[in-house]
Structure 1
Amino acid sequence: MPAPDGHLKIKRVAIDTEPENTVFLSRQCAVYRPEEFRALKKIEVTSGGKSLLATLSITDDHAITAPDELGLGVQAFRRLGAPEGAAVEIEQATPPRSLDAVRRKIAGEVMSPDEIKAIINDIAAHRYSPMEIAAYLIAAASFTTTDEVLAMTRAMAASGAQIDWDAPLVVDKHCIGGIPGNRTSMIVAPIVAAHGLTMPKTSSRAITSPSGTADTMEVLANVALSIDEMKDVVEREHACLAWGGHVNLSPADDVLITVERPLSIDTREQMVASILSKKLAAGSTHIVLDIPMGPTAKVRSQSEAVRLRKLMEYVSAEIGLVIDVVFTDGAQPVGRGIGPVLEARDVMAVLNNEAHAPADLRARALLLAGRVLDFDPDLRGGMGRKRAQELLDSGKALAAMERIIDAQGRADKPACAGELTAEIIATHEGVVAAMDCFRIARIARLAGAPMDKGAGIDLFKKMGDPVKKGDALYRIHSCFSSDFEFAKAMAHEHSGVTVDGAPVRKSVHT
């Protein structure tokens, strides 16, 4: 069916242009002259009362876009929300007015809450290009006041969906990240559920790590829950372990992250706004925050950790959240598995009380679960850790996890560890003196994690363990030969494990 006069028809073009909205216009367009738009950075696309800003690309291939069509890349098509074939029109886009506030920030001025709200709303609506987002982030990284952090947190929480659980106590637990294998949330949530507290745990997918909680949980169950599905699971089982990106919580944060990571911008101010905005939007009232400290962790000193804790506590109090900050050891990875399948294996070993389950993962999960349970007014003060262990030892936490998995939708086919393997061996006798969390995580990502659920690293030695020449320190798992070669090459250059002050460099195939 032809579009009305002066309109084009929408066509979905299977091109991934994340994070930008991109549209495609034929050079032989029957309605518009492409030359009129070529100098524009953005155009506004409108269909049936819905609109979005997008970057325009001109095409000479009618297989991509015919003269009477406007092609929308995957992101633009999804965000506009109009069906294929619907009538659409385009016009010159007016630059977001909030960019004036960004320019003032670049000049060193302090932004008002209204200016910050306008910036965050425009970012959430994808009105900023990656270059404009980068300008905002870099300006904010130079200096951000405490009041600006508070305003940013509130604006980010209000930029998307907000969940109300109609309950006086809704608990959560969050780790600031940076430590491979630290999948405590998947143990804490079923312990808390078995106790009877409400814990709607939403987690992110990995961005620069080998696995996020959502990636690991997806090995066992569906994590792409809608808000209604999430509420149903929590109502029945007291907890869930879902992917936060699917329920549109603090969407501006998800956009910001796509630019933050390549630029390695990770200020404590932005971190506070990111974490607390999502917890506020998720309806949490009480949060345990895990801050690992270590030489290769995100937070590397006690003074840095204290500054972060104080900012977290201040903003939490202002937005009505109760927060308990816990400092933990971030000197080395937690557990043995690094990568979705291997981490899921460790989690289930702890929940099953298996003899070979990683003791450090179990101990850390019990510590954090205990702190969450201490929020329960009906539990005697300081008894949370003991109660958590009772629930784990008795098998009640495992039973709760199995119910959560079934409620979310159990994975049809269990994923397996990658079959391409290489072991990194010790070249001399000694003791494991240090482990570089950042490098080990990079090797696991090069191996294919988290894209390939079975890719990653299986650790055989931890800090303080004695090592003999020829002992395997860890095993790399991959699913594709190219990834396998990349990971081996990096591990051979420097394994990330230091034995008596000397890094291990040799790999052996098995």
Structure 2
Amino acid sequence: MPTTRKDQAIATGEGQLCAKLVALDTFRENTVLLARDCAALRPERLRGVRKVEVRSGRGTVLAIPLICDDPNLVAAHEAGLSQPLARRLGARPGEWLQVRPAPPLDTLQAVRAKVAGETLSAAAYDAIARDLAEHRWSDIEISAFLIACASSMTAEETLDLTRAMVAAGDRLTWDRDLVVDKHCIGGVPGNRTSLIVAPIVAAHGLLIPKTSSRAITSPSGTADTMEVLARVDLSEEEMRSVVERCGGCITWGGRVRLSPADDVLISVERPLSIDTPEQMTASILSKKLAAGSTYLVLDIPVGPTAKVRDRREALRLKKLFEFVARRLGLELEVLVTDAAEPIGRGVGPVLEARDVRAVLEGRADAPADLREKALLLAGRLLEADPNMPGGSGAKRARELLESGAAARKLDQIAEAQGPSPVDGRLGGLIHEVLAPTSGRVERIDCLQIAAIARRCGAPSDPGAGVDLLAKTGAQVRKGDPLYRIHGCEALDFGSAVDLAGDNSGYELAS
């Protein structure tokens, strides 16, 4: 009787196992299921080993092993691949894989050094960025790195990390010397100016290939809101096609592998709510450089409940951004703006997309604060045009908005990117938070409003969020609605209502 490949693997113990795709989504983690009686790698060999190396003909990925006692799930000659592992490995069902204990990662020594407060070299950050981009670290290891960097990180280290993150991924180039972009560091609910700025700038004729992140600690990121209007998960080829046709795009940066190490860090930063100045600088600038931007307008909102609380903190952050951008050849203008309250009325993807449409269409109910801030930022970007007379950027931006050119440009971009894959309807569960007394709205807590919107499901549920009905300065009577909570899932909605009941986020003055 002839000897099969399976028999050979069992007989020789050469580490060969047959790939079996398991319907198990482990989110970001690479996980491989091994049988208790695994023919090629005995579980007792894995004691003290946190990872195994899984190699196919197309690459090698490190994975966390789980031991399985159910032969129906994974047999002795099989390696059960979770969905993320199978995708990154490019594995096909039934192909033979080599599985062995993974050698220790040298970069984890750098993490331990960082935990001890040491300054890391540029070479260390290069290696770290490569390992992150190749998904060689577990979430626990990434968390340790983030927390260690939050404790101590120099400006030079921030520069080295930014440069390393750019080098670890792809980098886009364009056939123009001037490629502009705009970014806000976040922390202000509803501040969705990019969806107004990008169409204005593209309508003028400047190139603005805007790649955006999804929300980290907010109820919606630019990509989350744009996804209500159009598809944002574009490949590099698709993105280039949109930019060539429309002069701009508004896409999610993770799909085009621009600074992929940043996407890995963000996925862990989000649940930990970590967003330090150094990580923020490296994240934003690495993405912009990788996208081919040459000129960036950066918005740093400052307010008592914003991400940046005072002017001194804003100045420190501004200088850090300027230092890194200058050393990497990116022309940067930083604007410090007011963030005393949320911008616009909607907080959450569908509600924010509604406000953007209202501004672009010139509707009477469009939020004036969102419109004016978008015009300010668009005007500063237009000033970068060497053919634009100095000081005329703001006027030109207003002309493009009021003429409808910007609205038509967003429609063109949305059509080119493709139809939205998400449900654009507001959540059907509704609760109004009422004024406890009569008086004037004195203050709105950005953090609390954002927390309520996230608690009710935003941005995972695009239709969840908070619709502000009274802004700072408004006179309200007892029982008047201050804002409306929209939810999609009863459990999340109830939790958000409870949170608003404990603290509405509004302060009223008699």
**Normalising TM by the smaller chain, what interval?**
over 0.9
State which drifts further: 387-396 or 432-441: 432-441
- Deviation of 1:183 after TM superposition, in Å, equals 0.7
Corresponding residue number in structure 1 for 2:12: none
Residues 385, 470 of structure 1: alpha-carbon distance in 2 compared, 3 angstrom cutoff: same
Contact 2:180 2:381 in 1 (8 A): yes
> How do 1:41-440 residues align onto structure 2 when only pairs under 5 Å count?
41-411=50-420, 415-440=424-449
- Aligned partner (choices 5, 14, 29) of residue 23 of structure 2: 14
The answer to whether the Cα contact below 8 Å between 2:361 and 2:407 also exists between their aligned partners in 1 is yes
Measured in 2, the distance between the counterparts of 1:157 and 1:203 equals 15
Question: C-alpha distance in 1, partners of 2:43/2:18?
Answer: 16
1:28 Cα offset (Å) = 2.7
Number of residue pairs matched?
501
Pair 410,260 (structure 1): closer, same or farther in 2 beyond 3 Å: closer
2: CA distance, partners of 1:4 / 1:385:
74
Q: Give the aligned residue type for 2:41.
A: Y
TM-score by length of 1: 0.95
Contact 1:225-1:243 within 8 A present in 2 as well: yes
| Cα distance in 1, alignment partners of residues 461 and 93 from structure 2 | 32
Deviations 1:95-122 (A, max 9, x none): 1112222333333332211111112211
AA partner of residue 353 (structure 2) = A
CA distance in 1 between counterparts of 2:124 and 2:48 reads: 28
| More moved, 217-226 vs 157-166 | 157-166
Amino acid at match of 1:211: S
Structure 1 residue 136, shift from structure 2 partner: 2.1
Q: Are the equivalent residues in 2 in contact too, given 1:429–1:467 (CA < 8 A)?
A: yes
Specify the code of the residue in structure 1 equivalent to 2:407.
L
SS state at 2:159 partner: helix
Q: Deviations over 1:350-383 (max 9, x none)?
A: 0000011010110010001111111111101111
In 1, the alpha carbon distance for the partners of 2:130 and 2:103 equals: 15
Q: Which residue of 2 aligns with 1:505?
A: none
Shift of 1:49: 4.5
Letter in 1 for 2:180: V
3-state SS in 1 of match to 2:282: helix
Equivalent position to 1:31, from 34, 37, 40: 40
Check conservation: 1:4, 1:87, Cα contact below 8 A: no
TM-score, length basis structure 2: 0.95
Correspondence for 2:497: 488
For 1:73, the aligned partner's letter is S
Please say which of residues 261-270 and 177-186 is displaced more in the overlay: 261-270
Instruction: Show structure 2 runs of 5+ residues with no match.
Output: 10-15
2:216–2:273 CA contact under 8 A, matched in 1? no
**Structure 1 pair 382/42, CA: closer, same or farther in 2 (3 Å)?**
same
* Counterpart-to-counterpart distance in 1, 2:342 and 2:444: 8
Shift of 1:76: 1.1
Q: Measure the CA separation in 2 of the matches of 1:413 and 1:288.
A: 30
Measured in 2, the distance between the counterparts of 1:326 and 1:166 equals 28
Q: Which moved more, 1:292-301 or 1:440-449?
A: 440-449
The alpha-carbon distance between structure 1 residues 107 and 172, as it changes in their structure 2 partners (threshold 3 A), is: same
Q: What CA distance in whole angstroms lies between the structure 2 residues aligned with 1:478 and 1:2?
A: 55
CA distance in 1, matches of 2:366, 2:213: 25
Determine if contact 1:179/1:292 at 8 Å carries over to the other structure. yes
**Which shifted more, 273-282 or 68-77?**
68-77
Which one-letter code corresponds to 2:418 in the other structure? G
Q: What is the percent sequence identity of the aligned residues? A: 57
Cα distance change on mapping 1:428 and 1:235 into 2, 3 Å: same
Whether the aligned pair in 2 keeps the contact of 1:225 and 1:242 (CA below 8 Å) is yes
Alignment-mate amino acid for residue 8 of structure 2: D
**Residue 426 (structure 1) shift:** 0.4
Q: Aligned AA for 1:491?
A: A
Whether the 8 Å contact between 1:174 and 1:287 is mirrored in structure 2 is yes
What is the deviation of 1:467? 1.1
Between the aligned partners of 1:368 and 1:49, the Cα distance in structure 2 is: 45
| AA aligned opposite 2:373 | R
Paired residues of 1:3 and 1:87 also in contact (CA < 8 A): no
Shift of 1:133: 2.1
Distance 2:412 2:273 in 1: 39
Residue type at the aligned position of 1:40:
V
Which one of 464, 477, 481 corresponds to residue 468 of structure 1?
477
Q: Distance between the aligned counterparts of 1:303 and 1:197, measured in 2?
A: 34
Partner-residue secondary structure (3-state), 1:432: strand
Whether the aligned pair in 2 keeps the contact of 1:220 and 1:414 (CA below 8 Å) is no
